[in-house]
Structure 1
């Protein structure tokens, strides 16, 4: 491989990072920051690996005046709080025992042993902070160049250690990959039932990330063909609406949204959406949106739909229905507000109570039907409606 050193990148100059590296002495960047820099994409999180035991890391940071938070002490992870943002520092590890959901680890000073317990070859890349020298134990750079998503070692063993790696495989394939390793794909297919042992929160977290990835459409289709969803989300059986939604989002200039895309994968049935939202333990807000997006829109003009359902729900419904122009038209439009309230009807002579609410609803529907005219026209509609109501009461 030609790339032997880590290219310079903005994240490598974050405030306090050089000082942290100096304090630790023996440490390397690892995982996503190395991978994403080699791919030329922005880096969000910085992780450092070190052979130093976590207690020593805490002591060194304390002596240097760097705040240390023991975010995952059992697994050797300390968060160093720097002016430029948090950095996770993790002691080199090896797995002692795993059950598919949790792992018991022991600390080591062997870099290759630490790399061997990671999931994919492209995630087991280390870089020296000072020289940029890349340490690659499992041909991760070669796989990265080929966009080949491959487990380290035996795929079945990696999945047995952590069942979530099934979904992570497909998410990484959708985000970074062009080539799915055949052995990995077969292992994920064979062990798909292992997903049932995972918490629904972990499944939801991986799934929602996957749905907005670069090649989500192709990878979701592959997952359906391979029966990956059957054990935990048997409702997902077709990807046509999902593919149409992705194309419509692009045509309308709307960013991909995970909840909207999940709704497009489900049958157009509010009860199904409600059940899936509960099963995945989505937030109340996410569940309400999923249910609303799963309900086919009424045959109304886009502006009317936005007024009745809200812009977010209207966008979801229009995009899922494949109406890119309508969605683009309401995306940045301000939802009108009815320029009259019940007090104005009381002033016109109606008594407070149900009659005011009835007449106000009549006025609102007339206002909507006329295309949301200005206040002057609404006053005319109100005058006529109140006159009619008062006559009917005589």
Structure 2
């Protein structure tokens, strides 16, 4: 199924000299190599292209030899699955030999090389990801109706949804990720049912793979509908211990607040919205997803104040950082205080306490543990008073050192 005269729109990325040189080495003009996947899809959508992938009938060893002979650095990044990466002056380009699945077990596939473009397209997940484009003529090759689905914002598996999910259970997460990004409010009932029936298989996958898809999903401009559909399908029950009972409502409110205040989406902020508001439970979930220590600390910091107010937002920013305080406000502040919280945080830089231990000793305090203890008391009062200048900080110090 290849609509006549449908071509890839003009775009900066496919006019790069480094890419043209690479394709010339691979004999792209001889219909041996085509653009495939996300670069084609996103160009048709008119959104920026992040990654460039090529498909070729050449075997991996032939690809590597041609590139090496041409002086192009090549890395065998996924050689067992037919993928190598060419390093160009404009960035990496993945090149994968056409394949067909020999066997699958829900986590990985055994593949064999092919020279049949439609056979390669048939093993991909969604119709919108199985679009090829000729690098010379820019003609699009669409074997499974991906162009129509793209126009209708329809996320549709190639062939049987149940079969495609059985081949790789992570496709459940990918379905909802693309639903969040492109699907609007357009879920296919047969696909939803297939995802729901196979949801328990997600528990068998590596947490790293699941977490990676979840974070990508939560980074979409509006993931609310997809997340609500995931809750309905019991997807979260098979990837985390539990989520907040009001997660769908929290995420919907958060998304509206981000839009209203022109704040960019942040997957970490959305993740916190999904998690239980008990810090220990939340950290156990994040740890189970194998997320980084930095992410665990960030999650914990955003759960310390379940109801931030305008009077305590700057102290929260002082202790946990402005980004954490902003997230707490967006997630948990009351409607009538949110704007005030955000205004205070706009352009805010953490102040420095204008007192040191040496200052306290100079004022007559004896050296020892009491210095640090007194400095902490001064800091607490200084924060309560809104971070006043040095004169007031010294007054606070005198009041504590020489009480009347």
Q: What is the TM-score of this pair, normalised by structure 1?
A: 0.95
> Which stretch shows the higher mean deviation, 120-129 or 293-302?
293-302
Written as runs of structure 1 = structure 2, the 5 A alignment for 1:1-394 is: 4-25=6-27, 26-178=32-184, 179-236=186-243, 237-238=245-246, 239-295=248-304, 296-297=306-307, 300-322=311-333, 323-388=338-403
State the Cα deviation string for residues 93-150 of structure 1 (Å, max 9, x = none).
0011111111111000000000000000000000000000000000100100001000
> Which stretch shows the higher mean deviation, 344-353 or 367-376?
367-376
Preserved contact between residue 251 and residue 324 of structure 1 (Cα < 8 Å): no
Preserved contact between residue 95 and residue 103 of structure 1 (Cα < 8 Å): yes
Q: Distance in 2 between matches of 1:121 and 1:43?
A: 18
Structure 2 unaligned spans of 5+: none
SS at match of 1:282: coil
SS at match of 1:372: coil
Preserved contact between residue 289 and residue 313 of structure 1 (Cα < 8 Å): yes
Residue 328 of structure 1 deviates from its aligned partner by: 4.1
SS at match of 1:180: coil
Q: Distance in 1 between matches of 2:251 and 2:274?
A: 5
Preserved contact between residue 308 and residue 328 of structure 2 (Cα < 8 Å): no
Q: Distance in 1 between matches of 2:154 and 2:399?
A: 70
How many residue pairs match? The answer is: 389
Q: Distance in 2 between matches of 1:279 and 1:128?
A: 43
* Distance 1:303-1:152 versus aligned 2 partners, 3 A rule: same
Q: What is the TM-score of this pair, normalised by structure 2?
A: 0.93
Q: Which runs of 4+ in 1 moved over 3 A?
A: 297-300
SS at match of 1:273: helix
Preserved contact between residue 221 and residue 265 of structure 2 (Cα < 8 Å): no
Structure 1 unaligned spans of 5+: none
* Distance 1:377-1:15 versus aligned 2 partners, 3 A rule: farther
SS at match of 1:371: coil
Q: Distance in 1 between matches of 2:174 and 2:339?
A: 31
SS at match of 2:125: coil
